[in-house]
Amino acid sequence: MRCTGGAFYSGSTNGDVEFRVAEHNAGLGANFTRRHRPVTLVYCEEWPTVAQAYEREKQVQGWGRAKKLALIEGRGSELPGLARGRQRKDVG
Given this model, what pLDDT does residue 83 score?
Answer: 82
pLDDT at 3 over 70: yes
Could you tell me how far CA 64 lies from the centroid of its own chain?
Answer: 10
Can you give the pTM of this predicted structure?
0.83
In this structure, the chain runs to a length of 92
Percentage helix, strand, coil, to 5, in the chain? 45, 5, 50
Q: Contacts from 16-25 at CB under 8 Å and sequence distance 24+?
A: 17/41, 17/44
Q: What is the pLDDT of residues 15-49, one digit of tens each?
A: 899 999 999 999 998 999 999 999 999 999 999 99
pLDDT at 92 over 60: no
Rounded to whole angstroms, the Cα distance separating 72 from 74 reads 6
- Band the pLDDT of 91: cuts 50, 70, 90: very low
